[in-house]
Amino acid sequence: MAIGKIPPLGTRIKKGLFEKVEQPYYFTFLMLKNWILYLAIIATLFSCKKGTENPIQETGTTLPTYAFADLKVNGTYNGFTYYGLNNTPIVKITFSSPINLSSVGENITFTDASGNPAAFTSKLENNDNTVVISPSALQPITKYILNINTGLLSKAGNKLQSAIVVNLITAIDDADKFARIGDDELLTLVQKETFKYFWDFGHPTSGLARERNTSGNIVTSGGSGFGIMAMITGVNRNFISRADGLTRMQKIVAFLKTADRFHGAYPHWLDGNTGKVIPFSTKDNGGDLVETSFLMAGLITARQYFNGTDAAETALRADINAIYSGVEWNWYRKDNSNTLYWHWSPNYNWDMNLPIKGWNECLITYVMAAASPTFSIPKTVYDNGWAQNGAMKNGNTYYGVQLPLGTANGGPLFFSHYSFLGINPTGLSDTYANYETQTKAHTLINYNYCKANPLNNYGYSESCWGLTASDIPNGYTASAPGNDVGVIAPTAALSSFPYTPTESMQALKYFYYKLGNKTWGEYGFYDAFSLKDQWFASSTLAIDQGPIIVMIENYRTKLIWNLFMSAPEVKAGMKNLGFNSPNL
């Protein structure tokens, strides 16, 4: 073999670097070459070591780091988010290297969700590998954030490999927020304070209910129907006098006589000063038949209550009859079809194109239409449009309860509230369902779902339940088992008192005594809250406040049920639709 003819590298490795070969001059050449290579590597390593701990810094590789190893909050590891903590939790974070205590102050922060600092002390243990964070007394139902920055140094001067964020959410304060009172007294208190939404906060010109506590001049037709029922409750419970209640009703009726109507139906929203329509959306600027039906049910209830023979009450009843008779229910069949339609606009006609089909909150719409003395609908419209010839039936079992009608798990609880503020479901049935069974089943499924809490939403329990339409953080949604965002609305459980009195009372006591410092305001309970998100609404809505007063009253005395079901038109209309009830 010639001197310049070196075997392939793989051959050299396989045979061994110093394997004896036949040519001694080749052996000498190979030895010399490899010693030169070896010395070059040593020199390179030595020159790098002098300047830095990183032997390959010049190639762009990051400095050496140390890593997170373990986390314990009150002795338990549960990821990086912890709920229901006491007010002085102990947080222990363990690392792969001993920590330099002097770098803790600048690189570990403890704040609430708004960024306000919370006091804490820190120390090292476990051979300085563990940092122990001990916050001072924290506030209940509050989120705190523990941040550990990468600038936290080890004793060797290395940085933390990745930043760490730990979310710590404290538990509720279990102490009672208000003095304990009797159950009946508590129910009366809730009704009286909630009543103020419609009485004290009622629109000064129209007397109608404002959409919400921030709505200014916007009044709601459907919510005002609920408010009228609430007002009757207030008169009957002596929250106000009968004379004052009559005066308010006269103001409401006088306003409604001149307000915008569309083939007799009122819009969803009105200007409380002028009576002109305020569009609910671009094309929803005309008649809203469902909202109108809620309003008519309230007016009929007031007519039945103010039954005196004097001129004022007689005139009030006549005005209510004229308003109710003016609603062209059958015109909302849209070209004489066998379905009622929700909207009509003078600008957009039927463009909203929303048929009113069951099962949902709109049973009252078909009942009021069938009961109309002037523009009634036949049973075929109820059967084909509302009941969809039986397609609204369910029959499946959810959380141990069979549901006769509607969507899976029943949907939001207002389905079992709005229509049944006036319609008494007790003993009520038709071809499609027993409505006492339906309303109780729907409520129990909602209760059982929250109790089971399949999504592990913090705070849900047998005392904290109720999913329905309400405000949520940064919006509004119809909460239900199929649309659960972790928000509880007091109206859901409290408006269910006639169906689940034990479960509803348990929820009421929890909302009032345990959470009342955050859930209770000048008009009763605020709209909703989320213990998961530590969020408490400051809003009150007519469509949520009204059912609380009315359904608690129906549970206690059946007052509104008895008044509404006593109306001759209602009796005749429901019988014509095929309903059977001891109350008809």
- Give 387-411 pLDDT, tens digit per residue: 999 999 999 999 999 999 999 999 9
List phi, psi (to 5°) of 204. Answer: -65, -30
Query: For the chain, how far is it from start to end, CA to CA, in angstroms?
Result: 118
* CB contact at 8 A, 197 and 209: yes
**pLDDT greater than 60 at residue 40:** no
Average pLDDT of the residues in 87-110: 96
Strand partners, 95: 68
Domain-by-domain residue ranges, the chain?
9-59, 65-170, 183-576
**pLDDT greater than 80 at residue 301:** yes
Other CB atoms within 10 Å distance of the CB of residue 129: 19
Bond preceding residue 386 cis, omega within 30 of 0: no
Average pLDDT of the residues in 519-535: 97
Give the CATH H-level superfamily of domain 183-576: Glycoside hydrolase 144 (GH144) (1.50.10.140)
Residue 316 CA to residue 296 CA, distance in Å, equals 14
Residue 578 CA to residue 560 CA, distance in Å, equals 22
pLDDT band at 62 (very low <50, low <70, confident <90, very high): low
Q: In the prediction, which pLDDT does 14 show?
A: 31
The 3-state DSSP class for residue 392 equals coil
Q: Which DSSP helix (H) or strand (E) runs through 166?
A: strand 164-170
- The CATH topology of domain 65-170 is Immunoglobulin-like (2.60.40)
Residue 442 CA to residue 500 CA, distance in Å, equals 10
pLDDT band at 129 (very low <50, low <70, confident <90, very high): very high
Q: In the prediction, which pLDDT does 225 show?
A: 98
Q: What is the pTM of this model?
A: 0.87
**pLDDT greater than 90 at residue 35:** no
Work out whether the CA dihedral 503, 508, 510, 513 comes out positive or negative.
negative
Please report, as a single letter, which amino acid is at residue 210.
R
CA–chain centroid gap for 282, Å, is 26
Average pLDDT of the residues in 111-117: 95
Q: In the prediction, which pLDDT does 18 show?
A: 31
* CB contact at 8 A, 370 and 573: yes
The 3-state DSSP class for residue 229 equals helix
Kindly state the percentage of the chain with pLDDT values over 90.
89
Q: In the prediction, which pLDDT does 47 show?
A: 41
Q: Classify strands 65-66 and 159-160 as parallel, antiparallel or unpaired.
A: parallel
How many residues make up the chain in this entry? 584
Please report, as a single letter, which amino acid is at residue 71.
L
Average pLDDT of the residues in 86-107: 96
Crossing angle between the packed helical segments 221-236 and 183-199, to the nearest 10 degrees:
130
Other CB atoms within 10 Å distance of the CB of residue 416: 32
The 3-state DSSP class for residue 393 equals strand
CA–chain centroid gap for 539, Å, is 13
Residue 462 CA to residue 450 CA, distance in Å, equals 7
Q: In the prediction, which pLDDT does 324 show?
A: 98
Rama region for 348: left / alpha / beta (φ>0; ψ in -120 to 50; rest): alpha
Average pLDDT of the residues in 128-152: 96
Nearest Cα neighbor of 119 from 142, 149, 146 is: 146
Kindly state the percentage of the chain with pLDDT values over 70.
89
Average pLDDT of the residues in 91-100: 97
**pLDDT greater than 90 at residue 254:** yes
List phi, psi (to 5°) of 271. Answer: -75, 120
CA–chain centroid gap for 505, Å, is 21
DSSP 485-551: -S-B-HHHHHTTTTT-HHHHHHHHHIIIIITHHHHEETTEE-S-EETTTTEE----BHHHHHHHHHH
pLDDT digits (tens, 9 = 90+) for 209-239: 999 999 999 999 999 999 999 999 999 999 9
Nearest Cα neighbor of 369 from 354, 386, 352 is: 386
Average pLDDT of the residues in 317-335: 98
Token pair belonging to 323: 């308003």
Proportion of the chain in helix, strand, coil states, percent, rounded to 5: 40, 20, 40
**pLDDT greater than 50 at residue 177:** yes
**pLDDT greater than 50 at residue 124:** yes
The 3-state DSSP class for residue 100 equals coil
* CB contact at 8 A, 464 and 510: yes
Burial class of 578 by CB neighbour count within 10 A (0 to 12, 13 to 18, 19+): middle
Nearest Cα neighbor of 166 from 141, 143, 189, 147 is: 147
pLDDT band at 63 (very low <50, low <70, confident <90, very high): confident
Q: In the prediction, which pLDDT does 268 show?
A: 98
* CB contact at 8 A, 543 and 521: no
Residue 405 CA to residue 514 CA, distance in Å, equals 35
Token pair belonging to 188: 């009366």
**pLDDT greater than 50 at residue 566:** yes
Average pLDDT of the residues in 458-470: 98
* H-only helix segments in 417-469: 435-452
Residue 21 CA to residue 23 CA, distance in Å, equals 6
